Amino acid sequence: MRSKYKGALHKESLFELIQKPNNKELVVFIHGFMGFMDWGAWHLVANFFYERNYDFCRFNLSHNGTTIEAPIDFVDLDAFGANTYSKELFDIQALLLHIENQHRSYSRIHLIGHSRGGGMAILAAKYWNCLSELGQVCTWAAICDIGRKFPVGEALARWKLEGVRYVKNGRTNQDLPQYYQLYEDYLEKQDQLDILGAAKYIGQGLHIFHGDLDESVPMSEAFELGNASGVEVMTIKGADHVFGAKHPWNTETLPPLLQELCMQTLKCL
């Protein structure tokens, strides 16, 4: 079932919730930067867990640049530019509350986050505890530190002066805006946005997966998360940042490395 929820600043965004009548456990999937719920093989990931008796929810973060009418295209560039990490955390909370109030209460809610979404999953698990029904938190190629993602020196000064910088989307070839408020929001809320600190808080409830051929988020970040939380990093050998998937994904089977990742994740739930 596809429907809408209200995220940050009351902006509506799309989610899909697939349910079986008596399931009491839910998996919520959080996409990453320049991602969206229908990217690549994420629909097959949803089917994988659903077929193994977990309800599954995937959703678009409210300011990821897509719209209700265009859920796979970056058409709302102002929303993309105005996005912040705090807005993404608000979105996760808003979605969970919406499911709780409009659909079903669950005995356990598990979070899976990819890339930046993995960092958001860790933060959400600490600060909102998933409606006090937190299950397991699984990160796929997650970032470990938000502050490192910002420019420094002259580039940072220019961003502040101009109010906007642009990041290239290699898939669509778009130059996507990021407003300086992204950095201001981080400076104001550094304690709330401390991924490594949140990982330490979660401890054994965190499960870290990373491909050893990831060129987007270095595997060293996975080991930092592991050191902070005291858990072992689970390496997917031969996997890149998206575990062998791409967009669009035109076959009805998971890529082998993503299938392996799903199988290993299932063991942690």
Beta carbons of 177 and 203 less than 8 angstroms apart: no
Per-residue confidence (pLDDT) for residue 127, from 0 to 100: 82
What is the count of structural domains for the chain?
A: 1
Classify residue 185: in a domain, yes or no.
no
| Domain limits for position 203 | 2-147+190-266
Residue 256 lies in a domain: yes
The closest of 192, 2, 191 to 87, measured between CA atoms, is 192
What residues in the chain have per-residue pLDDT under 50?
131
Task: Say if 155 falls within a structural domain.
Answer: no
Residue 164 inside a domain? The answer is: no
CATH number at residue 256: 3.40.50.1820
Within a domain: 156: no
**167 within a domain of the structure (yes/no):** no
pLDDT at 1: 85
Domain membership flag for residue 212: yes
SS3 for 139?
strand
Asked if 58 and 29 touch (Cβ cutoff 8 Å), the reply is yes
The reported pLDDT for the residue numbered 129 is: 64
Q: How far apart are the first and last CA of the chain?
A: 23
Asked if residue 231 is part of any domain, the answer here is yes
What is the C-alpha to C-alpha distance for residues 184 and 84, in angstroms, rounded to an integer? 9
**Angle ∠(197,25,134) on CA atoms, nearest 5:** 20
Residue ranges of the alpha helices (H) in 108-251? 116-127, 129-132, 153-162, 181-188, 195-202, 219-229
3-state DSSP call for residue 133?
coil
Tell me, yes or no, if the pTM score tops 0.95. Answer: yes
Instruction: Give the whole-angstrom CA distance, residue 229 versus residue 67.
Output: 36
